Homo-oligomer: A and B are copies of this chain.
Amino acid sequence: MVALNLVNRLNKRKQASDQVSELTINRLSVYLRCLNELDVAGTQTISSQALAEQFRLNAAQIRKDLACFGEFGVRGVGYYIKELRRDLRQILGLDRHLRVVIMGAGNLGLALADYPGFRQEGFEIAALFDAANEKIGHESRGGVPIYDIKALKRLARRERLDIAVIAVPAPHAQPVVDVVVVAGIKAILNFSPGALKVPGDVKLKSVDLTVSLESLSFYLARGKETRG
């Protein structure tokens, strides 16, 4: 019965996963972060309402997002935290070890290499790559080695590399992305401003840090209007 439920849920999950939006996926990550905290604190179960209240989320949205992937939670009990955490990790593909390389060993690349959140969720930062001779052969404070960018293709042939993070200055971003694509890496997280081109079978996600600052700016401007 439990096994059948799981099969049903996984089938449902498979069908659903093609239609869910990137925003839903982002929210699943946020839910997972909350469940991690609750799990560490020793909490066993939680209702969507309590989860929403504790982490300033939306209970209806939580239920709707989870419904894309099957049936979770038990009426009158809520979610079993360890179980939902395991399911979310599986949905997000975090149940297998993902190997990440960071292109660019400047301040941003070094900061990302040692960012504690990545390791916590099972991402392994396998290496940094740079073109500057004085950096090659050294490592980040956390011990991630810095290789010559020319060695990326060779490393990618020898070991599985899942995701490349682009942390180079804007003028170098497209050439570096081209190197990553040639090396056969199919997922790219870009921190460089400006548009980048990738082939259709490569997933590119850009993080624009300015967007976050601007939404604070909007809030400050609105606050002024309301007060004055």
Chain A residues at the B interface, C-beta cutoff of 8 Å: 14, 17-18, 22-23, 25-26, 28-30, 32-33, 37, 55, 91-94, 96, 98, 100, 106-108, 110-112, 114-118, 120-121, 123, 141, 162-163, 165, 169-170, 186-189, 193-195, 203, 205, 207-226
Partner of A213, one of B33, B110, B116, B123: B123
Supposing A17-B225, A29-B214, A92-B214 touch, asked if A220 and B98 sit within 8 A by C-beta, the answer is yes
Query: Could you say how many copies of this chain the assembly holds?
Result: 2
Closest 3 CB pairs of A and B: A93-B221, A107-B111, A108-B111
19 new A-B contacts, CB < 8 A, other than A92-B221, A93-B222, are: A18-B226, A26-B215, A29-B211, A33-B193, A37-B194, A92-B218, A96-B221, A108-B115, A110-B111, A111-B111, A115-B209, A116-B170, A118-B213, A121-B213, A162-B220, A163-B213, A165-B213, A187-B216, A187-B219
